[in-house]
Amino acid sequence: MKKIISYNVNGIRAALKKGFADWLKQENADIICIQETKAQPEQIDSMLFEFLGYKSYWFSAKKKGYSGVGILSKQIPDNIIYGMGNEKYDNEGRVIRADYGDTSVISVYHPSGSSGTVRQAFKMEWLKDFKNYINELSLKRKKLIISGDFNICRLWIDIHNPKRQQKTSGFLPEEREWFKSFIDTGFFDSFRKFYPEEMYSYSWWSYRMRARARNLGWRIDYHIISNTLETKITNAYILPEIKHSDHCPVVVIADF
């Protein structure tokens, strides 16, 4: 069994100052997919992770202090692929993939469209291109675990007060429609496999209005997994009590 965690840390260096390393040691996961590192590889203390038993792999944005993804792994992967082969997105450090035998684990950080129309248009373009990238990859790598911050609430039960959020980036009808079409190409949402109707289970909270204390959250962090692996997924859950970031870790247990 492998415990795989996805965690948008909202700055790896800031998270380390809040006890991230101690939590990692205690949690003892096999693979941790990290998003929003906000750091260049040379700014990350890889020896610290080595001391905790992890090989670390980082793919950073060209722009310093922005975006960036990583994978921590106890087992050395057979292969690491940096980026998705599209310079427009790879310049923002949004995808890194680790191959373990015939299974691939991807750490992905989808763009946010909340800053305005330009970035929302970029996000919609990304969603189309990411779907094409994954569908093409699936022809060669049929067992995918896509872990990360999708910046979209998939279902009405994935967001507080959904009626009021219809025009908010991250819950736009066209974003949810994209998510449905993506799932329909051969994937499932691991958390909803085990908790299909559970409400008030979120992975991100605004820093404003005491949102986390009041649990006014969004579920935007996922492990989206190939249907070919469905019998190998034994559990999935969220860790809302872990607070190194405005997100919390999401977990899946996989037998591969």
Confidence at residue 205, expressed as pLDDT on a 0 to 100 scale? 98
Q: Which is catalytic among the residues 7, 57, 149, 221?
A: 149
pLDDT band at 119 (very low <50, low <70, confident <90, very high): very high
Could you give all domains of the chain from N- to C-terminal order, each with its CATH number?
2-254 (3.60.10.10)
Catalytic-residue membership of 45:
no
| pLDDT exceeds 90 at position 256 | no
C-alpha–C-alpha distance, residues 68 and 11, integer Å: 9
**For residue 129, what pLDDT is reported?**
98
What token pair was written down for 51?
A: 């001391």
Query: How far is residue 99's CA from residue 79's CA, in Å, rounded to a whole number?
Result: 5
Asked if the model's pLDDT at residue 31 lies above 90, the reply is: yes
- In the chain, % of residues over pLDDT 70: 100
Let me know if 109 is a catalytic residue: yes
Which of 7, 54, 57, 109 is catalytic? The answer is 109
Query: Can you tell me the distance from the alpha carbon of 79 to that of 95, in angstroms, rounded to the nearest whole number?
Result: 14
pLDDT at 70 over 90: yes
- The model's pLDDT over 163-197, given as tens digits with 9 standing for 90+, comes to 999 999 999 999 999 999 999 999 999 999 999 99
State the chain's mean pLDDT as an integer: 97
pLDDT at 44: 95
